[in-house]
Structure 1
Amino acid sequence: MDLVPPNTQADLRHVSAKSSEQRLSAFMHEVSGRALIMMESATKNTDIAMDLVQEAFISLYKAYSKKPTEEWYALFYTILNNKLYDWKRKEQRSAIPFSLFKKKNLDFEDDAPEEQIADDYHIDPAEILSQHMTINEIKEAIDKLPIRQQQAFMLRAWEGFSTKTTAEIMQCSEGSVKTHYYRATQALQQMLSYLSPYHQNKGMTDE
């Protein structure tokens, strides 16, 4: 499992000697912004997203405060995703009257059978999240993805976790991660293609 994801900005050389509270504070400062965006995309509700992130930090500290800081990253996102799953299941149950009396599939959307897809991590996220796109445009596109695709894309492309670690965090197979990640990149490229210079130049030529 990855310890510190490649895309993190934290400098762990100076936090190992700090108290658990100081380490948690530094860790929260490092990951809370990205984690909040991930949960906002999944829940479509800022207040709920903040609650989930806060609960995940509390659970992390209670269960793993003695763990080295570098081990917190994967542990935190595993806890956070478990809390998201629990919230999603409760929402699905409460939205269906008499759900206790009928069989209901509570799996997340986009959990289709795995496809034989190569790990496309060589896709440069910069090609999708390029300088020609604003943060709001990017976030709006990610919000439209099914939850599992959001998770796979953000854990792989944004946090930089490996396929193996992402699968452990999402509690699915590596093949599922590859499928979700591939579908996410394809969908984002299609949704954001109108922002690329090539697309814009082509439109001017067609006129």
Structure 2
Amino acid sequence: MYRKGDPVMLQLTKVKKAKKGNDKAFQELIEEEKNKLYRMAYLYVKNENDAIDIVHETIYKAYISIKKVKEPDYFSTWLSKILINTALDFIKKNKKVIPFEEVERLESSEDLHIAESLDLVDAIDRLEEKYKTVIILRYYKGLQVKEIADMLDCPEGTVKTNLHRAINKLRADLREECL
């Protein structure tokens, strides 16, 4: 199934070591995941400092509960689930408002690509949480429908429906902005 030196096998070994209390193995696992975690957190809160705080809290929660990982193969999924819950809790607690200076800076941006990306990020941000989560997991995290369903503890059909509805809402929202 796996060969010696295979990256998947190395990750499994690190997860097993981390579960037994090996801090170095845990640190190496986090190092491999931290950029993905930050990008996901940023999609939720649109603020660098808040995203970093969410990642730090996610890492702390993962560290204190690493022994609870049931399937070492799904460490990344387990970690993503912690991050999503942490980000949603953060949003509920803070109901973030974008500072006026940030809006001005973004509006004065010369780079059209950045503006288009921000339009998409803003459109994703306006989605209901269930739609935002499936979009992030599918297109930013690269998970398959079955993996998303497992992570969210819901049927695959629900994930497919939510993805379909989210994509349609994004299309409609972005079309309105273009008019």
- TM-score when scaled to structure 1? 0.55
Q: Name the counterpart of 2:33.
A: 31
Q: 2:139 aligns with which of 140, 157, 175?
A: 157
Q: If each structure's helix is expressed as a fraction of its own residues, which one has the higher value?
A: 2
- C-alpha separation between the residues in 1 aligned to 2:144 and 2:89? 24
Q: Distance in 2 between matches of 1:171 and 1:17?
A: 26
Shift of 1:72: 1.3
1:53 alignment counterpart: 55
Partner amino acid for 1:75? W
| 1:1-207 map, 5 Å | 11-18=7-14, 19-20=17-18, 21-65=23-67, 67=69, 69-92=72-95, 134=113, 137-138=116-117, 140-145=119-124, 146=127, 147-170=129-152, 173-188=155-170, 191=174
Q: Which runs of 5+ in 2 are unaligned?
A: 1-5, 98-111
- Equivalent residues, number: 147
Provide structure 1 residue ranges, at least 5 long, that are not aligned to the other structure.
1-9, 96-132, 193-207
The structure-2 alpha-carbon separation of the partners of 1:169 and 1:84, relative to structure 1 and needing over 3 Å to count, comes to: farther
Shift in CA distance, 12/139, structure 1 to aligned 2, threshold 3 Å: farther
Amino acid of the residue matched to residue 141 of structure 1?
L
**Alignment TM-score, normalising by the size of structure 2:** 0.62
Note if contact 2:123-2:170 (Cα within 8 Å) is conserved in structure 1. no
Cα displacement string for residues 116-142 of structure 1 (whole angstroms, at most 9, x for unaligned residues): xxxxxxxxxxxxxxxxx9577335413
Q: Is the 8 A contact 2:37 2:55 kept in 1?
A: yes
Q: Secondary structure at the match of 1:160?
A: coil
| Higher RCO (C-alpha under 8 Å, 6+ residues apart) | 1
Contact 1:152 1:166 in 2 (8 A): yes
1:137-172 CA distance string (max 9 Å, x none): 335413321243332112112323232432343455
CA change 1:143–1:168 in 2 (3 A) is farther
Q: What one-letter code is carried by the residue in structure 2 that aligns with 1:177? A: V
Cα RMSD for the two superposed structures: 3.5
Name the CA distance, whole Å, in 1 between partners of 2:65 and 2:113.
Answer: 38
**Percent of aligned positions that are identical:** 23
